[in-house]
Structures are given as structure tokens and as C-alpha cells.
A and B are shown apart, each in its own frame.
Chain A
Amino acid sequence: MSNTVSESPSSKVTRMGGASILGRIPFWKIIDEAGVLLVLIVLMAALSFDNEVFGTWFNMRLIALDAALVGIVACGQTFVILTAGIDLSLGSMVAFSGVVVAGLMTVRGLAFPEQMSPQLSPWVAIPIALAFGTLYGTLQGVIITKLRITPFIVTLGSLSILQGLALVLSNAAPVQQLPRDLRWMIQIRPEVLGVELPLPMPAIIMLLVYITAWLVLRYTKLGRYAYAIGGNETATRLSGIKVDRYLIAIYSLSAFLAAMAGVILAVRLDSGNYTNGETYTLDGVAAAVIGGTSLMGGVGGVWGTLVGAVLMSVVRNALVLYNVPSMWHRVVVGGIIVGAVAIDALRKRFRS
């Protein structure tokens, strides 16, 4: 009877995940969670073989820069999708928080009310923008859980509301000339204590976000409950877990990350504008799904999402390198989204 559990100690160690050394290394988690990593590696190898520019470190920095902000949004989206929800408002949140942070810091200020121009220090303006964004996410979470309206509808409404607010607050014109001392957060070749970092600052921030998110998913109750709620919300509720409370926290978290991406994007473009991050909503969903997170909830993880976001950036980069007219880019990226998921699905079927 006792040997039912301890029969195979070796297999137990590797399969318990947390107990094995390899299981702790993100790289192996990526392979485990997203077969799409193989697609990415093959694609990058082929591109660097065929194109002398692609493989340069400078080009890698460009790709990382491109992937960084979508990546941060996609990370929050992954949490939401894990709970079997979706947040369609994240792209608009990027625009909203960008306009808010720019308006609070610049001379032109916010168009509402009456050209308010507080010209706050970034140290005040950024927390305010993040707080507004997070609170909006909290509000969405409350509406979704307490009024029992599906996330799709609530966040679809918010997609319009937040973009509309960005329009109103900016008076439909870009808010520009952000303080120059914020440039550190968008440096291509950042230096920390005299050492040059290999990736642009936004990508470094993104990596920190992903590492934190991974730890949260793996080692906190919030993470465990996210998987449990997505896997079976009823069973989770009937296990005595305050499901609503955790769902509200997760919608707040995803909004917070989108607001953060919005601040960085505004600094990078030197512009808070209602069009900022327009494509991030669906690109974020695509990154998560390409990375193996199931829209049905309960299955997936953030490293796969990261692979998905990088894959899309690599494709966009290659289209530029090969002089594909920019009109075609979205067509190709869309095709890649479906293709990557299809390859992964085939791989899984082949394996089983």
C-alpha cells in the first residue's frame, strides 16, 4: 500500500516539477509549455543564415524593443486567460494611461477639465497614472464578478470607454514633449553602474515583469487559484476559496501591467495619444495563445507568452529586412498566429 506513491522515486522527482533542478530553469519550462519555441528557434536560425543583418546584436535589440511592451501587456492578459476570462480593454488602457501620464507632466496638460496643466513631477504623475489604470481594472473585476457579466462584454465596453477617455483627455491630439529625464526607461543601450546591458531598457523591464509573474504563478496562492479558477470555477468556489476576490485582483493586475506599458510607450514615442497601443490587445491575446495558454482556462503559463510575443516581433522584423511592403505586415502576422498554433496543435497530436 505504501509503495503506491513511492514506487518510482526517480520519475516522481522529475514530474513533481518544483522538486527538480531542471524544472526550476525557465528555459526548460518554455520548452515544456510551448512547442512554439522550436518554431521560433528554427525561424531565427534560418533568418540569420539567410540575412546578414538579422543576426546582428543591434537587430536583436530592435526585436527585443518591439516585443517588450506587447510582452508586458500579454503577461497580464495571460493571467486573465488562465482564469478562463479575457481582457479586451488592455490596448485602450495603454492609450489611456499614456495620455494621463503625459497630460499630468507636460505643459499642454490635460484637456479636461479646462486645460488642466499641473506639470507634476514624473515621480508623482507615474504612480497616479498606474493607480488610475489599476483602479479601473478593479472596477472591471467587480462588475464581472458581482454583476456576473461575462468578461468579454465588460472589457469590450471598456475598450471603447478607455479609448474614448484618452480622446477626451487629450482633446484628440497627441500630448507631447515629455520630461527628458524619463529617457532612462527607453534606452537602447542602457548602462547600470557602468556596465552596458545586452538588451534595451523596456526589454529588461519586461523580463523583470515575467520573472515576477512566473514566481507569482508558481509560488503564491493567487497563482494557484488562477489555475484552479480557470480549470473549474465551481469546484474552486465549493472548496471555500473566495473566487471573486482573486478574480478582481487578477483584472487589477492585468490593468496595472497595461498601464505600465502605456507609460513606457508614451515616453518612447514622446507622445500620449489615443492611438497608442491600439494593436496590443489582440497581439497580447495572440502571444498568450501562441504560447500555449488555453482560452478555455487553467492551462498555460507566462514563458510561452513571452515566446509568442518574441515570435511575432521576429516576423515583423524579418518583413522589414526583406522589404515587404508595410501594408502586408498585418496580413502576414495574422497568418503566423494561426500557423504557429496549428503547428503546435499538430505536434501535440503527433506526440499523443
Chain B
Amino acid sequence: MQASIDEIEQSQSDAGSMLLEMRGIFKSFPGVKALQDVDFDLHPGEVHVLLGENGAGKSTLMKILSGVYTPDAGMIRLNGREVAFSNPRQAQDHGVATIYQEFALVPYLSITQNIFLGDEISLRGLPVLNWPAMHRQARVALRQLNLDVNPRTTVRDLGVAKQQLVEVAKALHRRADLIIMDEPTSALSQHEIEDLFSVIRQLKARGVGIVYISHHLDEVHRIGDRVTVLRDGQRINTLPVSGVTVDDLIRMMVGRNLSDQFPKVDIERRDEVLRVEGLSRKGILHDISFAAYGGEILGIAGLVGSGRTELARALFGADSIDAGRIILDGKPVKIHGPSDAVDLGIGLLTEDRKEQGLVLGMSVRNNITLPILGRITSTPLLNVRQEREIAGRFVHDLNIRTPSLAQQAKYLSGGNQQKVVLSKWLATSPRVLIFDEPTRGIDVGAKVEIYTLMTRLAKEGVAILMISSELPEVIGMSDRVLVMFEGRISGMLDRSDISQENIMALATGGDAAHE
């Protein structure tokens, strides 16, 4: 079956018009066969989605294409000509641009300076930069991407979505005809994703080929033309997106059936655990009031910048509040800092695991026990034996894949890192656990594991607050959904009212339709 589809593909494509052909790519690292005999190709004006779990070989393949790695064997042809890149610069010179999850922009320089970095225009014959000309060209480039900002703006002052478009502008300025986008929507709100997609369609119309890496399976059909699935360094299949369902893709990615992406279980709601009354933080949060119950997963939805993360930080004591009360298990509490919150049994899994959740250079064990060292002993001394026991239990219990407890957290995969962060909070026996973007950058299999753990915690009576930009996740896992808009609560949806339309309406300042 695979062969026949390949043949169809082959016959459909005129080899001469192929933008990119990669054939029989092999790459090994010490102890790992990262890629084995992988084929990949791209037509001009095509969006080719590259799927696979973490470690499947997507990044390695793209790093070969962009000149970061050299393949052990295999052939790469760009516009019909065979190429061999030994560094990223050569790939760029051949029109291959990469937009990484972490942007390669210089935050303190202006948009123009970033676009022209290393490629500045000088006044004719003089070693003096011609800023007016560069600003003019930058403005044109931005306008083509429907981005209406002053090119003199410092990049740092732009939102994530606009920074990404600046990256695109930079790529186009360098005459890229092949753009690799690595998880471009992971930090974008629904609106911004729409904007990005319209830019992508525009790029397609101009004949730019796009390799699109994503964990969001729903995006495959929204933006892709063809999809290639990698697993364990091998190409599983390449198909037109029209002929494949999300379930098929998941099966190809994980090599087995995932019965349910969202293992939601109905749990009886228990007593009120957390009540927030009139919580405000000047200019950011306005009069936030709600209650959360034991056994409940309360989804918190809203656009990026609507105040969801800020609400979590305020509850956790990471930011101060100007007004309002927080009531925990019926008693008003004062939270002056994260240490108060932890003592009271509130935990926060931050949206940014690497920057805020983990000490990457420390061992799995030390990360897990970090918040509870004070509880294990009341003396200044550590109790390493007990730490090892606790950490070992969580590693086993949550099925954290690590060679040992002494492994540094930075060497774990995203999903396992998230499970270490979760272990750390479980160790504190929380009453309230706030998840901020719990599955960002995590592959499908690990996502389901995180959801299952979330459900198990709810069953144990923990009140769970789940901030998420992924609507399927919010809809699939929440018992109720609190929607925020411009720092206020714009609505609270009960299970029967939860729908994509209602959430989006509230998140953009509209009203929800009740059944």
C-alpha cells in the first residue's frame, strides 16, 4: 500500500519541478540511529507537514536540510541540483530558511536591524549604513505579511506572533524559497494562528515551499498538502492529507492505537477547595471571582495576553495582588510569596518548563524533592535516603523514562521533563494544582499520560485549574471552563455549554450561547 501511494506520488510529480528531494538519508549519533533511509521531498508552493513523536527524527532531518548536521549517507537535491551543506550559512545561501521555536532574533535591536543583520545596505561606496533605504524595504516586507508596525520598533516590544512574522520577513528578505517552520503555532493564540495560516497561504501562492513541523494534529488538515510521518528514525508513510484521518496519523506516529486522546472520567464534584473574591492587580487582573472544587478540572481559556498566566501567578503568590481575597478550604489565607502558596498546598506547573519549572542542570531526584526538602527534615541537614525513596517512587509511579535518578533533567524528553515537574508538585500533596499549558511541546503519547495523571489527581480530591490555549484539550478535559478576556472573567461555562464556539465568543469579548 505504501509503495503504491509512493508510485502515485512519483508519477504525479514532474521531477524537474521538485523544489527539494532528499533520498536515502542516514544519520547516526553515538548509540543512536537517528535516521535510517529516509526520503522526503517538497514541491514549490506546497506545505509538507512533518509529524512524529519527540525523538522520531524530525529535528535531525531538518537540521540536515538546514546544514546544521551532515548526513552519513544520502542525497539532497535543491531545484534539481545536488547540494551538500557543511554549515547553516551555505543552506541559507541556497534559499533554505528555518524558523525555530526559539526565535533567532536579537531582542534589543529593531525590526529593520534584525531583518538586515549581516546583510546591511551601505551608502554607495561608503562604510556608512543607509538606514532610510533599509527601513523602507523592511516596511514593504512587513506590509506584504499584513504586519502594520513601524520597522524601527524594538523586537523585544513585539508579541510572539509578530516576532514570528519578522522571522518570516527576514527569511523572505534573504530570498528563501524553502522555509522550515518548527512548531510555529505552539505559542500563538487562535487568532494569531489564523493570521499565520493566511501568511502561509500567501507564501504558497508565491511558490515558497514550506516544511511544517507540528504536534497539533488538527493543523495537518487545516494547512497541509501532504504529510510525512517519522517514527524511530524511519519514514512510516507520506500521504496527501485528504486521504488520512487524525486517528490514522496518531496510529502511524505511536505505532499503536490510542483509544482516546482525552481520557476524561466523570468524577463527582466534592467540597469547595478554593474561592477567589474580587482579585485584582492593577492594569492586569480586574475583579476576578470564582470557586474551584475538589475532584474538578476547571479549564481556564482565553487568548494569549488575556490574563490567564497572570491569574495563576497571583494565586501562587508569584505576583502581588492589589485587592481581593483568596479562601482555601473555607479559611481566608494570605499569600505573600510562592513559599506561602506551597505551604498552603497550592502548586503551579508553569507554562515554561525549562525557564521556570526545572533546574535543568540538577538531577531528576533533586528536582523532584526541591519543594519538600523543608518538610522531609526540620533541621538544616538533608535526608538523602528519604529523598531517593520519594523520587524513586514518583519516577516509578509516573513512568518517567530516565536512566537513573541522578540523570540531569536537561537530558530528558519534554514529556518526561513535564512528569518530573508534576512529580515535584505531587510530592507536596497539593490541594490545588494549577497547570499552565500542561502539554505544550509534548508528544501525543506523553500527552495522554499527563491527562490520565490529571484525572487521577482529580479523583483523589485535588482541585485542578488547567490553563490552556489548545481548545481540544480544554474541551476534552474540563468539567467547567472559565474564560478570560482582557484581564476579566468573561464567562463560566458548565460542561453542557462547553463548545469551541462558546469559548471563542467569550474569549473575544462576545457572549456565549446557552443550550
Contact = CB atoms under 8 A, between A and B. Distances in A.
Contact of B370 (A15, A234, A241): A241
B355 A234 contact: yes
B338 A239 contact: yes
Contacts of A225: 373
B334 interface: no
A184 to B, nearest CB: 31
B396 A2 contact: yes
B371 A239 contact: yes
A221 B370 contact: no
B475 to A, nearest CB: 28
A221 B380 contact: yes
A11 B366 CA distance: 18
B323 interface: no
Interface in B323-353: 337-339, 341-343, 348, 350
Interface in A187-238: 219-225, 227-228, 231-232, 234-238
B348 A231 contact: no
B384 interface: yes
B299 to A, nearest CB: 22
B392 interface: yes
A222 B381 CA distance: 9
Contacts of B341: 240
A243 B21 CA distance: 53
Interface in A220-278: 220-225, 227-228, 231-232, 234-242
Contacts of B318: 237-238
A39 interface: no
Contact of A224 (B356, B366, B399): B366
A260 B64 CA distance: 57
A232 B350 CA distance: 14
A298 B359 contact: yes
B395 interface: yes
A227 B388 CA distance: 18
A235 B382 contact: no
Nearest to A296: B361
Contact of B359 (A8, A221, A235, A242): A235
A147 interface: no
B382 A1 contact: no
Nearest to A245: B339
A25 interface: no
Contacts of A17: 406
Contacts, number: 111
Given A4-B400, A240-B339, A220 B371 contact: no
Given A8-B403, A219-B384, A240-B339, A234 B356 contact: yes
A143 interface: no
A18 interface: yes
Contacts of B366: 224, 227-228
Contacts of B338: 237-240
A21 interface: no
A299 interface: yes
A19 B222 CA distance: 53
Interface in B207-237: none
A236 B337 CA distance: 12
B384 A18 contact: yes
Contacts of A12: 404-406
Interface residues of B, number: 43
A113 B59 CA distance: 70
A221 B374 CA distance: 8
A232 B407 CA distance: 17
Interface string B388-430: 1000100110011111111100000000000000001000100
A241 B401 CA distance: 27
B361 A16 contact: no
A327 interface: no
A219 B385 CA distance: 11
B158 interface: no
B453 interface: no
Contacts of A224: 366, 370, 373, 382
B149 interface: no
Contacts of B356: 232, 234-235, 238
A5 interface: yes
A97 to B, nearest CB: 25
Given A219-B381, A224-B373, A4 B396 contact: yes
A4 B402 CA distance: 7
Given A4-B399, A16-B388, A16-B406, A238 B381 contact: no
B248 to A, nearest CB: 28
B360 interface: yes
A18 B359 CA distance: 20
B429 to A, nearest CB: 13
A260 B338 CA distance: 36
A5 B395 contact: yes
B357 interface: yes
A238 to B, nearest CB: 5
Contacts of B316: 238
Interface string B366-380: 100011011001001
Contacts of B382: 219-221, 223-224
Contacts of A16: 388, 404-406
A122 B382 CA distance: 36
A220 B374 CA distance: 11
Contacts of A15: 403-404, 406-407
B358 interface: yes
A311 B384 CA distance: 33
B362 interface: yes
Contacts of B373: 221, 224-225
A240 B359 contact: no
B348 to A, nearest CB: 6
A220 B380 CA distance: 6
Contacts of B401: 4
Contacts of B392: 5
Interface in A1-53: 1-2, 4-5, 7-8, 11-12, 15-19
B359 A231 contact: yes
B347 to A, nearest CB: 9
Given A16-B388, A239-B371, A232 B360 contact: yes
A81 B357 CA distance: 22
Given A4-B399, A5-B402, A12-B405, 19 more contacts: A5-B396, A5-B405, A11-B404, A16-B406, A19-B388, A219-B382, A220-B380, A222-B380, A224-B366, A228-B362, A235-B355, A235-B356, A235-B358, A237-B318, A237-B338, A239-B371, A240-B338, A241-B370, A241-B371
Interface of A: 1-2, 4-5, 7-8, 11-12, 15-19, 219-225, 227-228, 231-232, 234-242, 298-299
24 contacts: A4-B400, A5-B402, A5-B404, A5-B405, A7-B403, A12-B404, A12-B406, A15-B403, A16-B405, A221-B373, A224-B366, A225-B373, A228-B370, A232-B356, A232-B359, A235-B355, A235-B358, A236-B370, A238-B348, A239-B371, A240-B339, A240-B342, A241-B339, A242-B339
